[in-house]
Amino acid sequence: MLSFRQKIFISYLVVFLIFIALMFPFATKTVKNLVYRSMKMRSKELIMKIQSAPNNQELVRRVKDQKGQIFFRVGIITDEHKILYDTAAKRVLGPRFTQEYVVDHPEVLEAFETGMGYSEDYSDILSQKYIYLATAFNFHGKKYVMRSAFPYKYVMDLTRDFELGFLMLSIAVLLMFSIMTWLIIYRLSSPIQQIITDITPYQEGLSTTIPEIQLGSPDSADDFSRLASTLNSLSAKIQNHIDTITSERDEKEAVLESLNEGVIATDKDMRITYANEMALRFLNHPSEDVVGELFSVLGQQRFEDMLRECRQQGDVLTDLLTYTQGGRKVYLLVVAVPQRREGAVLVLQDHSSQYRMMEMRKEFVANASHELKTPITVIQGFAETLHDHPDLPKNKVVEVTGKIVRNCQKMTRLIHDLLTLADIENIPRSNLVNCGLVALAERCRELLKDAHPSAVVKLEVEEEGAMTITADPNLMELAFFNLIENAAKYSHAPAEVTVTIKQQGDSIQVEIADKGIGIPEADLDHVFRRFYTVDKAHSRKMGGSGLGLSIVENIILKHFGTITVASEGGVGTTFTIVLPTQMEKML
C-alpha cells in the first residue's frame, strides 16, 4: 500500500502530465494569436502611412518605401479585386506579373465583406504555407484591401520554442513545488504519525482510555500543539460521551428491570444478550446471570421456536400461555419481535388482571341477569295468577297489582342505573363546563327534602366562593345526591347529614358524613363493587340495586378524582371526594 507521501507525489505527477497535455494545444493557439495580432497591428500602421497617397502610383511607391520595415509579404488589391501591387509576386514573376489578375482568395473576399479576413493556405508562387491576413481600407472613396502573409513554418518554429520553454519552466516549477510539498508533508505527517502512535494502544484495546497527546510545550502557539490540544479536548468529550452512553445504558437496564414485563434479547446465534429479573421469574428460572448463554438453557423450547420463526418471517409473533402459580391462574402473553441485526426480543406480559376483569364483566352480566330475573319472575307469577283467576276479590287484585308495580319500578331503577354506568364510560367533552360545587350541594339538599322530609343536611364551606371545577354537572349532581340519599336512607330518623367543602391547593375536597348505622369493617373494601350490598334485606326494603356506589365511584374517577370511605358501626359513615380544579389539563 502506498504511503501518504507517495500518493501526494504521484498525484502531483498525474496532474502535471494532464496539465502539459492540455497546455500544448493552448501554446500553439497562443503563438498563432500573437502572430495574428502582430500582423494586424503592422497592417494598420502601414495603411495609415499609405492611405493619404493621391493616386495608385503614389500608393505603390509608398508601399515600396516601407519595404525595409516589412517582414512579410504584402499585396494591395483594388476595389475591382485586381492586384495593384504584391511584393512577392512582382519579385518572383517579373515581367509575367500583371495588374489585371483578379484575386479571389477567401481572406480577400471576407475582407471586402466584413473589413477583415484570415486564412492559412499554401502558396504556389512561393512554394510554402502561409498565414494570410486581409485588411480593408478606404482609398479615395473606394474600398481597397491590404493582404499580408507570414510563413507558417516560422509559426511552427515559434510554437516549438514556446512549448519547449513552457515545458522546461513547468518541470522546474514542478520540481520546486514537489520539494516544498515534500517538506511540508513531512512536517505535517510527523506529528500525525506521533498522534497515531499515541492512540494505537487504545485502538487495539490495550488501554481503556484515550491517552493525552503531547506535541511540544502545552503553552506553545504552534499549530500542531494547538491541534494536539484540540484532539485532547475532543478525546475528553468523546470519553464523556462514552460515559454518558454507558450511564444511559445502565439507566435503560434499570428501567427494564423495573418493568412488570419480562424482556429477553438474543443475537443471531440464539445467545442471550439481555434478560431482566421479571422474565426469569416468569420462566421459573433461578435469578442468575444467563447473558452469553444459549437460549436453550432456559428450557423453553416453545419460546425458542417463536424467536426463530419471527426472525425467519421478519414479523411479530404472539402467543398466550396459561398456567397456575401460587394457587392462581396466570395468563402470560408472549411477544417475539425480530431485530435488524438478525437478533430477536422476547417480551412476556402478565395479562392476568385483564382476564380477571373479563371474568368480573361476565360476573356483572350474570348478576345483572339475576337481578332482572327475580322481578321478572315475580311479575310473571302474579300476572299468571290474575290471568288464571279473573274472579279474585278486589282487595287481592289490588295487592297483586301493587307487587307487580313495585317490581316494575325495581326493574326500571336497575335498568336506569345500568344505562347510567354505560353513559359514564364516555363523557362528551362538550358536557364539561364550570360547575360550582356549593350550588350543586344546595340543589341536592333541596331534592332530598321530597324523599326524606325529616332529614337535616348541613352545608359547611370553609372558604368563600363557589368552589368551581370543570365537570359534567348532571353526573356530578347524581354522584353527590346518591351519597347524600344513602346517608339519609341508612340513618335512623331524623337523619343528620353534613356536607363539608374545602379548598386543598389545586383540588377541592368534599366530605359527606352521617350518623347512621355504619358499614362493617369487612365490607368496606367491597362497597364500590357492582351489585354488592352490605345488608341485602335492608337494601331490598329501601329499593337499592347495588349499583349506586359503583356509579358514584365511576363518575369521580372519570373526573380524575378519588373517593374513599371510612365508617364505624353504630357511629356513622364518611365519604371523602377529592376533585382537581383544572381537569381540562388532564384530558
> What mean pLDDT value characterizes the chain?
76
The reported pLDDT for the residue numbered 2 is: 62
- 417, 548 contact by CB (below 8 A): yes
Which of the four pLDDT bands, split at 50, 70 and 90, describes residue 100? low
| Assigned C-alpha cell, 96 | 509575367
Which whole number is the average pLDDT over 256-268?
A: 73
Q: What is the CATH number of the domain that holds 494?
A: 3.30.565.10
Q: Which three cell numbers stand for residue 132?
A: 494570410
- The answer to whether 85 and 60 are in contact (CB under 8 A) is yes
Same domain assignment for residues 470 and 510: yes
SS3 131: strand
In this prediction, residue 238 carries a pLDDT of 73
Asked if 488 and 342 sit in the same domain, the reply is no
According to the per-residue pLDDT averaged within each range, which of 29-33, 94-98, 353-357 is highest?
Answer: 29-33
Please check whether residues 85 and 16 belong to one and the same domain: yes
Q: Which of 71-80, 154-163, 526-535 has the lowest mean pLDDT?
A: 526-535
Q: Would residue 116 count as lying in a domain?
A: yes
First to last CA, the chain: 67
The most confident of the ranges 9-23, 131-145, 379-393, 463-477 is 131-145
- Comparing CA positions, the residue from 107, 120, 99, 102 lying closest to residue 147 is 107
Q: Give the chain's domain count.
A: 5
Q: What percent of the chain has pLDDT over 70?
A: 72
Strand ranges in 87-202 using DSSP code E only, listed in sequence order: 116-123, 128-139, 142-151
- Which of 360 and 26 is assigned the larger pLDDT? 26
Closest by CA to 137, choosing from 20, 221, 53, 71, is 53
Which range, 294-298, 434-438, 463-467, has the best average confidence (pLDDT)? 434-438
Q: Read off the amino acid at residue 387.
A: H
Q: Does residue 543 surpass a pLDDT of 50? A: no
Q: Does one domain contain both 451 and 530?
A: yes
Nearest Cα neighbor of 331 from 290, 359, 361 is: 359
pLDDT value at position 576?
A: 92
| Burial grade of 339 (CB within 10 A; 0-12, 13-18, 19 or more) | middle
Q: What is the mean pLDDT of residues 55-72?
A: 79
Looking at residues 7-30, what average pLDDT do you find?
72
345-354 mean pLDDT? 75
Final residue before a domain boundary, out of 111, 133, 158: 158
Q: Report the distance separating Cα 260 and Cα 276, nearest Å.
A: 10
pLDDT (0 to 100) of residue 367: 54
Same domain, 311 and 220: no
Average pLDDT of 287-310?
A: 80
Is 439 in the same domain as 576? yes
Residues comprising the chain, all counted: 587
Structural domain for 312, as ranges? 259-350
Amino acid code (one letter) for 169: L
Where is pLDDT greater, at 120 or 420? 120
* Residue 65, domain CATH: 3.30.450.20
Query: What pLDDT is attached to residue 210?
Result: 66
Provide the pLDDT confidence category of residue 536 given band limits of 50, 70 and 90: very low
CA 435 – CA 482 distance, rounded (Å): 18
When pLDDT is averaged across residues 552-562 and rounded to a whole number, the result is: 84
Mean pLDDT of all residues in 560-570: 86
Amino acid letter for position 9: F
Strand order in the sheet with 562-568: 456-461, 496-504, 507-514, 572-580, 562-568
* Same domain membership, residue 105 and residue 8: yes
Q: How confident is the model at residue 542 (pLDDT cuts 50, 70, 90)?
A: very low
Q: What is the 3-state secondary structure (H, E, C) of 516-568?
A: CCCCCHHHHHHCCCCCCCCCHHHHHHHCCCCCHHHHHHHHHHHCCCEEEEEEE
Nearest CA-CA partner of 421 in 482, 370, 373, 469: 482
Under the banding of pLDDT at 50, 70 and 90, the label for residue 480 is confident
Listed residues 363, 391, 422: the one ending a domain: 422
Share of the chain above pLDDT 90, in %: 3
